[in-house]
Amino acid sequence: MGNIYRLETPLKEEDVVKLRIGDKVLLSGIVYTARDAAHKRLIDLIEKNESLPIGLEGQVIYYVGPSPAPPGRPIGAAGPTTSYRMDPYAPTLIAHGIRGMIGKGKRSKEVVEAMVKHKAVYFGATGGAGALISQSIREAGIIAYEDLGPEAIWRFKVVDLPVIVVNDTMGNDLYEQGKERFRI
């Protein structure tokens, strides 16, 4: 368990179908951020058949509320938030083209099923390592929902953002299978 891949966003189906739980990925390119409130707004737009502020096809959404940028940096700490709060919205966004999500914690059965059906993956980022993770972010700017503050949709340009595959396109779950592997 644990190949290392370098991937560039936007992700293609062939990028993610080769990934397996436990694989390490260094992600480069554009990554968008969104948390609960932004997810709700995106779903509302989809339900009204209105334009979204970002194209979803092949994109990766990072569940993060970044802290303000210190002098000379594009962003402050940018550690993952707990993903299950996005679970009511994630299957719809996956069906509309999201190819990857980054966060921490388990995903619901419905999200895992959507990932299998639409060929998407869930990456884990290390909680508590927001300052370290932010070193991979070269550019950052709010592109939608500025009124949400740190929960706005941000556009990050990342280089070698370190993540681990937690759920793959086969329905495997690192949290579950990892426990079984090391159970005594």
* CA 163/CA 124 separation, integer angstroms: 6
β-strand 137-144 against 153-167: which pairing, if any? antiparallel
Comparing C-alpha atoms, which of 91, 73, 92 is closest to residue 167?
91
Strand residues in the chain grouped as ranges (E): 4-8, 24-33, 60-62, 100-103, 121-124, 137-144, 153-167
Just list the catalytic residues.
39
DSSP character at residue 95: H
Which of 8, 20, 10 is CA-nearest to residue 172?
Answer: 20
**Strand, helix or coil for residue 148:** helix
